[in-house]
Amino acid sequence: MVEERKPVIGVLGAGAMGSGIAQVAATHGHSVVLGDAHPAACDAAADRIARSLTREVEKRRLTRDAADTTLERLNLVHLPSAASCDVYASCDLVIEAIVERLDAKREAFQALERVVPRHCVLASNTSSLSIAAIGAACQHPERTLGIHFFNPAPVMPLVEIVPGIQTDNAPLTWSRDIIDSWGKTTVLALDTPGFIVNRVARPYYGEALRILDEGLASASDIDWAMTALGGFRMGPFELMDFIGHDVNYVVTESVWTALHYDPRFKPSLTQRRLLDAGLLGKKSGRGFYNYGPGAERPKAREDAALGSAILNRILAMLINEAIDAVYLRVTTAADVETAMTKGVNYPKGLLAWGEEIGYSTVLAEIDRLHDEYHEDRYRASPLLRRLVRENRSLLR
Bridge partners of residue 36, in order along the sequence = 78
**Which is the catalytic residue, given 19, 31, 127, 128?**
127
d(CA 51, CA 145): 31
**Which is the catalytic residue, given 30, 96, 130, 148?**
148
Note if 148 is an active site residue. Answer: yes
- Order of all β-strands in the sheet with 32-36: 74-78, 32-36, 9-12, 93-96, 121-124, 144-149, 158-163, 185-188
Say how many C-beta atoms besides its own lie within 10 A of residue 345's C-beta.
14
Residue 158: partners with Cβ closer than 8 Å, 6 or more residues away: 150, 184, 185, 186, 187, 197, 338, 339, 342, 343
Q: How far is CA 294 from CA 86, 242, 297, 299, 300, in A?
A: 51, 18, 10, 15, 18
Burial of 110 (0-12, 13-18, 19+ CB in 10 A): middle
**Which is the catalytic residue, given 198, 220, 254, 320?**
198
Closest CA to 318 of 275, 338, 348: 348
3-class SS of residue 76: strand
d(CA 173, CA 112): 21
Residue 231: partners with Cβ closer than 8 Å, 6 or more residues away: 347, 348
d(CA 359, CA 394): 11
Q: Show the DSSP H helices in the chain as ranges.
A: 16-27, 39-58, 64-73, 102-113, 131-135, 169-181, 197-200, 202-213, 219-224, 236-243, 245-258, 269-276, 304-327, 333-342, 350-357, 359-373, 382-390
**Which is the catalytic residue, given 56, 113, 160, 207?**
160
Closest CA to 96 of 127, 119, 73, 66: 127
d(CA 23, CA 137): 28
d(CA 145, CA 162): 6
Query: Any idea which residues carry the catalytic annotation?
Result: 127, 148, 160, 198
